[in-house]
Chains A and B, each alone.
Chain A
Amino acid sequence: MSTDIKKPRLRRGLVAATLVAAALATAGCAGVEPWERDLHARADMQADAHDAAIDDHIYFSKEASSGGRGFAGGGCGCN
């Protein structure tokens, strides 16, 4: 079955992506001083939790995946 072929590839992809992400995160640990974070403090650099909740609910209802950025959601017998 085709899915049996895909699974190991995807798992390897997950592992590779985790390692890359961890490496990137570690590389950033040199540190940005507090007074250098004016750009991070801008409102447009903050996630919009309200819109994210709406989108999560829509896509949870229409696709087989959910969560990722937060909990997997649910709480509906969505059609």
Chain B
Amino acid sequence: MQLKKKPIGATLAAATCSLLGSLPAAPAAAQEAKDWSIDTSLLYYGEDNGRVEDVSLMATIRRIFDEDRSLNATLTVDSLTGATPNGAVPANVPQTFTGPSGGGGYTVEPGEQPLDTTFLDTRTALSLSWQQAAGNATRWSVGFSGSDEYDYLHLGVDARLERDFNMRNTTAFVGLAYGQDDIKPVGGTPIGLSPMAGEVEDEDGDDDGDDRGRESEDSKDVADVLIGVTQVLSRRSLLEVAYSYGQSDGYLTDPYKILSVVDPVTGVPAASTEEGIPYLYLYEKRPDSRTKQSLFAEWRYALDRDSFALNFRFMDDDWGVQSQTAEARYRWNINDRSYLEPHLRWYTQSAADFYRTVLFAGDALPEFASADYRLADLDAYTIGAKYGLHTDHGEFSVRLEYYQQSPTESPGSAVGDLANLDLTPDMKAVIVQFGYQFDF
């Protein structure tokens, strides 16, 4: 059985330090005979009602050079298809929207949630990290991450330092990360809160919106600091607590999201003054900076055969979003070769201050506004399980999860006709993941 192959002493530091992706301790690595470890997975994520589907292939390769040093490389390829809510609300009349490029419009039937059907993307991401021990009780790592989509490029660096104290019962860690993202939306970056225009000809054929008076690209910077401690509480239990602070600056708006403008009494879509589009929609606009802080705690407990983990996260940001997340996992080690791990997750968030399900005709324009359901007051839960089987050739696993989220409209949105329409429908998704991990 794989679990018993490891000598007790070999994984002591790993037990205290590798919780939640912290650095593997050198002594543990030293006694593992295998130099290479490969962890692969094939993921399917699918939302209901023809919304987003993602097929993702992820492979992590770890090379241990000696007891002090290792290199990790993770490659991910995502293929996304389907439709995504564009931010507009349903109406009792057919609604026509212009595609992001200025062409490729689409029409949504009465009563239906407006979904942008032009959504299609492939994302390739690579991350590399080098980990090294510095003496018996200190470890550090440096990393690089990059990802590329046709309209988005991310580059980032990170570093982490951790040190053991108190006979390795306590590990303190600190991490820093910095990323820069370049956004090059199809059709350029719309001017915030400007009206969606009717279809236009892309005169120079490059789809970057410059012929419509838009900037073709923008960028944002994201910096994060993480500080925390892992503490062995008893022979059976372990606690990790981490505080993180993140600052984002730059273009934080979603260039593809819009808001409906409706009559404040009847709820009927307001007429557009733009040529070629019947109703008025405004592009969303978010502040150009965001500060987030969160506190995370995880408690792990080993029973004689099984184990369980509970974790909580509190998040607070200066957009007015506060969230709480709770997760529970129970690992049922059925026998030496197989296990079943049920999983529950609960999430709740308050709406961003500038979240508006709709805007009303005649009202003064707010400074910022977004109808993105991800910034709404929402509750979500996940229920699922993972089954794993150890064989002589490695570990096979399959994971099934069901995810549901229920956004709530902003107060006072359901006027007139809108009272009889579902302005913020629930979203249901399934997650299926096949995994294979082996050492050699």
Interface residues of A (CB under 8 A from B): 1-3, 6-7, 10-11, 13-14, 17-18, 21-22, 24-25, 27-29, 31-47, 49-54, 58-59, 62-72, 74-77, 79
Contact = CB atoms under 8 A, between A and B. Distances in A.
A43 B300 CA distance: 12
Contacts of A59: 347
Q: Ordered nearest first, which 9 A-B pairs have the shortest CB separation?
A: A40-B15, A75-B154, A68-B296, A28-B233, A39-B302, A41-B11, A77-B152, A3-B320, A25-B231
A22 B323 contact: no
B116 to A, nearest CB: 8
Which residue, of B241, B298, B333, has the highest number of chain A Cβ atoms within 10 A? B241
A29 B316 contact: no
Contacts of B435: 50-51
A64 B74 CA distance: 25
Contacts of A69: 20-21, 242, 296, 298, 311, 313
Given A25-B229, A37-B12, A75-B147, 20 more contacts: A21-B241, A37-B15, A37-B232, A40-B16, A40-B238, A41-B10, A42-B302, A46-B14, A49-B21, A50-B58, A54-B433, A58-B431, A63-B405, A67-B292, A68-B325, A71-B175, A71-B177, A75-B181, A76-B152, A76-B154
Given A47-B19, A77-B152, A32 B234 contact: yes
Which residue, of A27, A33, A43, has the highest number of chain B Cβ atoms within 10 A? A43
B137 to A, nearest CB: 13
B73 interface: no
B21 A70 contact: yes
Nearest to A10: B322
B226 A71 contact: yes
A63 B380 contact: yes
Given A7-B316, A54-B43, A75-B145, A41 B154 contact: no
A29 B232 CA distance: 8
Interface of B: 2-3, 6, 8-12, 14-16, 18-21, 39, 41, 43, 45, 52, 56, 58, 60, 74, 80, 84, 116, 119, 121, 123, 125, 145-147, 149, 151-152, 154, 156, 158, 166-170, 175, 177, 179, 181, 183, 185, 222, 224, 226, 229, 231-236, 238-239, 241-244, 246, 254, 256, 292-298, 300, 302, 306-307, 311-317, 319-323, 325, 331, 333, 339, 347, 349-353, 374-375, 378, 380, 386, 399, 403, 405, 427, 431, 433, 435, 437
A65 B405 CA distance: 14
Contacts of A42: 3, 15, 302, 307
Which residue, of B15, B152, B158, B351, has the highest number of chain A Cβ atoms within 10 A? B15
B58 A54 contact: yes
A48 to B, nearest CB: 9
Given A3-B353, A31-B167, A65 B323 contact: yes
Contact of B15 (A46, A66, A68): A46
Majority SS at the chain A contact face: helix
Nearest to B10: A41
Contacts of B431: 58
A65 B321 contact: yes
Contacts of B319: 64
Contacts of A75: 125, 145-147, 154, 156, 179, 181
A43 B246 contact: no
A52 B181 CA distance: 22
A28 B43 CA distance: 39
B296 to A, nearest CB: 4
7 contacts: A17-B295, A40-B11, A65-B347, A68-B295, A68-B296, A72-B222, A79-B52
A69 B321 CA distance: 18
Given A29-B166, A41-B15, A69-B21, A74 B222 contact: yes
A21 B240 CA distance: 9
Contacts of A44: 3, 302, 306-307, 331, 333, 339
Nearest to B374: A64
B232 A32 contact: yes
Given A50-B41, A54-B58, A37 B235 contact: yes
A68 B313 contact: yes
